[in-house]
């Protein structure tokens, strides 16, 4: 069994009230050279970790992709897999995501069973994470690909009950996900309701495009915010720098 190095680091940061900005790199959106450059700039800007994955990958280069990132930066490179095919022995850890907002057994346990022997063989650190999809204005890739319904955005208490169940089931983190490219981000009231009932770290992602949105999520109780699409926007790296800067500032 691998040690829990990455999770220990995340817990330590939480205990010291240090929040983080993580950047998601979808291998379909980057050449390896571009990803490496982006990873280096992200690290220099104060980004705490890189996530690698996507709801549907067209590339079969995930292993080379992850290896190149690991060689380029010292921050953790964490898998954020859409399914059991998105694994690499070169990753620092993986979010072992259970899509607990849905009722599709494939995303609750099926992919996990397929992935488990490979995780063991690779010696990867799995971080059990309760992944909750939140309604965000339009159908997102995760919603479509998983065939599940997101949580209603106006019902924070439903989200809180799911998060509490995840914590009781022994999961180590909660991920509140509006979906990549979401028009509406996870509502702060929902983050606050989840924060009020769980102690484990909370990650929030989907549709975060500026420092205001990032700070709003942190104020509501997020420990980690994730941006992905921002990199694809005009001046993407500049905007990532801005968000990372606002997260560091928030912690001062």
Sites of contact with ligand 1GP (CB under 6 A): 24, 177, 179-182, 205-208, 226-230
Residue closer to ligand 1GP, measured from CB, 121 or 144: 144
**134, 198, 223 from 13: Cα distances, Å:** 26, 16, 9
Question: What minimum distance in Å lies between the beta carbon of 5 and ligand 1GP?
Answer: 22
Nearer to ligand 1GP, 6 or 176 (CB): 176
Distance between start and end Cα atoms, the chain: 36
The Cα–Cα gap between 73 and 36 comes to 8
User: How far apart are CB 123 and ligand 1GP at their closest, in Å?
Assistant: 26
Residue 95: phi and psi, rounded to 5, are -80, 115
Q: 55 or 71: whose CB is closer to ligand 1GP?
A: 55
* Shortest distance (Å) from residue 140 CB to ligand 1GP: 8
Contact partners, residue 252, CB within 8 Å, separation at least 6: none
Q: How far is the CB of 197 from ligand 1GP (least distance, A)?
A: 21
Task: Give me the least distance between CB of 1 and ligand 1GP, in Å please.
Answer: 27
**Closest separation in Å from C-beta 149 to ligand 1GP:** 17
Q: Spell out the residues 6+ positions from residue 148 whose beta carbon is closer than 8 angstroms to its own.
A: 99, 101, 102, 103, 104, 107, 133
Helices (H), the chain: 5-15, 32-45, 62-72, 105, 111-122, 141-146, 156-168, 188-197, 211-220, 236-251
Distance CA 117, CA 123 (A): 10
Q: Which residues pair with 25 in a beta bridge?
A: 52
Give the nearest distance from C-beta 225 to ligand 1GP in angstroms: 9
In the bound state with ligand 1GP, the residue whose beta carbon lies nearer, of 122 and 209, is 209
Given the complex with ligand 1GP, which of 53 and 126 has the nearer CB atom? 53
Q: In terms of Cα–Cα distance, which of 136, 141, 140 is closest to 154?
A: 136
59 vs 122, beta carbon nearer ligand 1GP: 59
Instruction: Give residue number: closest CB to ligand 1GP.
Output: 205
> In this structure, are residues 204 and 191 in contact, taking their beta carbons and an 8 Å threshold?
yes
Nearer to ligand 1GP, 117 or 137 (CB): 137
């Amino acid at each position: 069994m691998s040690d829990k190095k990455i999770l220990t680091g995340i817990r330590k940061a939480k205990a010291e009230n240090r929040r983080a900005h993580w950047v998601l790199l979808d291998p379909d959106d980057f050449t390896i050279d571009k990803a490496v450059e982006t990873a280096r700039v992200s690290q220099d800007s104060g980004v705490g970790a890189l996530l690698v994955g996507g709801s549907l990958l067209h590339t079969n280069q995930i292993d080379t992709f992850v290896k190149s990132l690991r060689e380029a930066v010292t921050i953790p490179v964490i898998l954020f897999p859409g399914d059991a095919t998105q694994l690499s022995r070169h990753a620092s850890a993986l979010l072992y995501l259970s899509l607990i907002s849905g009722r599709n057994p494939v995303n609750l346990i099926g992919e996990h069973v397929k992935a488990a022997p490979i995780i063991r063989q690779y010696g990867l650190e799995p971080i059990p994470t309760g992944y909750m999809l939140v309604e965000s204005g339009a159908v997102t890739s995760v919603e479509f690909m998983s065939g599940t319904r997101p949580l209603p955005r106006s019902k924070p208490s439903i989200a809180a009950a799911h998060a509490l169940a995840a914590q009781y089931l022994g999961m180590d983190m909660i991920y509140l996900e509006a979906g990549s490219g979401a028009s509406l981000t996870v509502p702060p009231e929902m983050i606050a309701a989840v924060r009020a009932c769980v102690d484990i770290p909370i990650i929030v992602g989907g549709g975060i495009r500026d420092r205001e949105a990032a700070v709003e999520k942190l104020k509501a109780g997020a420990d980690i915010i994730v941006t992905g699409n921002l990199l694809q926007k005009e001046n993407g790296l500049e905007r990532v720098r801005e968000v990372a800067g606002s997260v560091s500032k928030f912690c001062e």
